[in-house]
A and B are shown apart, each in its own frame.
Chain A
Amino acid sequence: MNTFHSKLSSKVMASIVAILWLLVLYSVLFLTRVDPQQQMAQKIFYYHVPSAWTAGLSYLLVAIFGIIYLFKKDEKWDHFGYAAAELGTLFCALVLITGPIWAKPIWGSAWSWEPRLTTVLIMFLIYIGYFLLRNFGEVNERMRRISATIGILAFANVPIIYISVKFWNEEAQLHPQPAMGSQPTDVYWTFILSLLTFTFLLIYLFYYRVHVLRLEAELFRKRDGL
């Protein structure tokens, strides 16, 4: 039986992600310096920021695949959009978990109504609705169109949410804004490596989910005798 990992390209991809992941872990634990102010809490930055980057990228992809689906009506684009939505929400959850772990010792409270954090939370909630919608109804052509629409709506809303939250709570403690170019080499390269690892992980998981969704669709078609 041909599984996803029967293909050489999938095996290579999985190996690259595993090696990169170990390299990042080693680099974060042993190669990067301990920040004199934030101590060990700062190290979560190497996972928190790349998670946010991959979540944002995934949601952008959901909107792009959604637009393409509405025009082309090809099931492939729905699979792409749905897989990207799942991964975006997974990485969003990682952002929402790692954020408070860092914020508790640094800001003194686990949550702050900071624009970026709040935008991520709102996107997460919109996508919970998106998945409930897909699970509550039969996944047919109409449902795919609706999913594409919600993906587009959610992404179009991001700048408005961000700006409104920013002005709503101007005194909120903001995310640190380190200029990455001026960071010491160990911090800079570990961060870049982590960013690369998360991007590869996203690509790998994306292809895996698309493969599973395609198999599911084939199974349903065979079941229905189409």
Chain B
Amino acid sequence: MLGFLLKKDLLVEIRSREVVISMIAFGISVTLLYAFAFRPSPELIIVFVPGLIWTLFLFISTLAIHRSHSMEKEFDAFSLMLSAPIDRSTLFVSKSLSCFILLFISQLVLLPIFSLFLQIPSFGKLSQLIGIFFLVDLGISFSGSLISGAVMRARVNEFLLPLLLFPIVTPLMISAVKSTTAIMSSAQISEWKIWFQIILTYDIIFGLLGFLIYDYVTEE
């Protein structure tokens, strides 16, 4: 069932291409603003890049998270889906995974553009960076899908999502920025493993919480 739900979400995206293109276009616009606001200097940029890149990714993630639930409001599709014999926890996992895939693809496209515009000499070990992207995206998708599912029927839910999501993902953002800084400065894993552990703990807690309580959040 998870495969069907995920396929449905991804098929909608492949046909419309509205979310990934919006995320990438928004990401480029923000990168452009960063380039103008912080005139790049190779010595200084390395200090700011991890923070800039993760705020950018957090901003674009809200587009995917919001859209994943708001599109289900059209023609009351979500109510129909809830009335189908589908386990709600499976629905949570499928929504999280579809957000995760869209976010991850957008990041892979945006990373070289970001690097080009801000003239970043090196991101360090790319495999480690991609690993961190993978884990942080999972955390953002888990907490985002849970909150988005909760606020989707509220008025002005588009305001409420970032208002609730941003403070909740603070520990994840701190850890993401710190580990990216360490990877960019080619630090040993032992020096930054605490951040990796915090990200992993966050993913497990929010993954489990979402799995357990998404049912209550979305119940009619």
Residue-wise, chain B 112-139 has the 8 Å CB interface mask toward A (1 for contact) of 0000000000000000000000000000
A212 to chain B, nearest CB (A): 23
**Chain B residues, Cβ within 8 Å of A125:** 166-167
**Chain A residues, Cβ within 8 Å of B16:** none
- CB proximity to B under 8 Å, residues A97-148: 122-123, 125-126, 128-130, 132-133, 136-137, 142-143, 145-146, 148
Pick the contact of B167 from A129, A149, A156 — CB < 8 Å?
Answer: A129
Q: Are A164 and B175 in contact (CB under 8 A)?
A: yes
A74 to chain B, nearest CB (A): 14
Say yes or no: A70-B163 contact (C-beta < 8 A), given A157-B171, A160-B198: no
| Complex: chain A residue closest to B171, CB-CB | A164
Q: Are B219 and A145 in contact (CB under 8 A)?
A: yes
Pick the contact of B194 from A70, A152, A160, A167 — CB < 8 Å?
Answer: A167
Number of A-B contacts (CB under 8 A): 86
Residue-wise, chain B 158-172 has the 8 Å CB interface mask toward A (1 for contact) of 011001101110110
Residue B201, interface by CB 8 Å = yes
Q: Are A149 and B154 in contact (CB under 8 A)?
A: no
Give Cα A114–Cα B170 distance, bound, in whole angstroms: 14
Q: Are B160 and A149 in contact (CB under 8 A)?
A: no
3 closest A-B pairs (Cβ-Cβ)?
Answer: A164-B171, A129-B164, A137-B154
Interface pairs (29), CB distance under 8 Å: A70-B216, A123-B167, A126-B167, A129-B163, A129-B167, A130-B164, A132-B159, A132-B160, A132-B163, A133-B150, A133-B151, A137-B153, A143-B154, A145-B216, A146-B150, A148-B216, A149-B213, A150-B150, A153-B168, A156-B205, A156-B209, A157-B171, A160-B198, A160-B201, A164-B171, A164-B175, A167-B194, A167-B195, A168-B178
Give B residues with C-beta under 8 Å from A: 143, 146-147, 150-151, 153-156, 159-160, 163-164, 166-168, 170-171, 174-175, 178, 194-195, 198, 201-202, 205-206, 209, 213, 216-217, 219-220
